[in-house]
Structure 1
Amino acid sequence: MPAFSHRAAAAYRNVDVNTRATEHDPYELALMMFEAVLDSVTMAQGAIASGDVTLKVKQINRALKILQDGLRTSLDLEHGGELAQNLDALYDYCVLRLTEANAFNDAKKLAEVAQLIKPLAEAWRQMRSGATPDPQAADATPSTPATPSTPKAPPAARRMGSLYGAGMALAGA
């Protein structure tokens, strides 16, 4: 199992996600982590609205742990180039905003984090399904239909996959 998969699985065990992460491929693990962050942010927003401080803290801490121990530490900063550096900075910013949201009961800061993470989750969802990105996107190119045994991902998705190390290299890269 690639190093990314080990770190991602460990992050899930540490934050008590009710799944067997080791049964999933690295792409699915990344998507699961993005979705788990979004779920935690949504639950924290509801907790703020209802005044449930305990749930708010629990969900924000869960999102922080996934961002820091799963997504951020799994980045291949040495080989991932500018995009990996940008994601690292984005995760750092999200950690800051989540911390502020927790300290000040600020649902707007939580919404900001969700707005930043949703496009990443969608990109991983597209990459996972082999879907072609929006043709309006700057570096979108027509993709060839993928066969189940050798999926072909769009160029942008291949670059995203390479950010998390050799274990995340996509077919057709």
Structure 2
Amino acid sequence: MHSNRSIAYQTYQQNQINTASQGKLLLMLYDGALKFLRLSMRSLEEKNFEKTNEYLKKTQDIIRELMATIDFEAGEIAQNLYSLYEFMDRELVQANIKKDMERIKNIQQMMQDLRITWAQVI
């Protein structure tokens, strides 16, 4: 029974993604990144470095997806956003290597600020 609920939930989530607008998809990516950043901080506090690594890599995957969606026709703003995502990605690599909570918190704040900004625009 549990697996049926799990399958139903996964189907629901996939339908949400398939029918979402570009803006909604962007917010979903930010939400996912923020979730994994929270989980990485919790696992780092618990000294569960394997989980920390897993969650930071998932966050990086989302950042790379955000980078792939940038429309460079938008000019300087697009390039600046790409550079910001590159910075965030590099910082997460360093945070993962050094188990650096402050770096993770800084990226979380930046990601939260971006999400708030995009939510206002959409």
Q: Give TM class, smaller chain.
A: 0.7 to 0.9
User: Quick one: which of 64, 72, 78 aligns to 2:67?
Assistant: 72
Inter-partner Cα distance in structure 2 for 1:48 and 1:125: 29
* TM norm structure 2: 0.85
Q: Which has the higher contact order (CA 8 A, sep 6+)?
A: 2
Inter-partner Cα distance in structure 1 for 2:51 and 2:13: 21
Question: Partner residue of 2:115?
Answer: 121
User: Quick one: which of 20, 23, 40 aligns to 1:24?
Assistant: 20
- Whichever residue aligns with residue 97 of structure 1, its letter is E
- Whichever residue aligns with residue 116 of structure 2, its letter is E
Per-residue displacement from partner, 1:51-102 (whole Å, max 9, x unpaired)? 111211111010000110x20011012x111110000000000000100111
Return 5+ residue gaps in structure 1 as ranges: 1-15, 129-173
Root-mean-square deviation (Å):
1.5
- Whichever residue aligns with residue 63 of structure 2, its letter is L
Return 5+ residue gaps in structure 2 as ranges: 1-9
Question: Partner residue of 1:35?
Answer: 31
Which has a greater percent of helix? 2
* TM norm structure 1: 0.61
- Greater Cα radius of gyration, structure 1 or 2: 1
1:39-118 map, 5 Å = 39-68=35-64, 70-77=65-72, 79-118=73-112
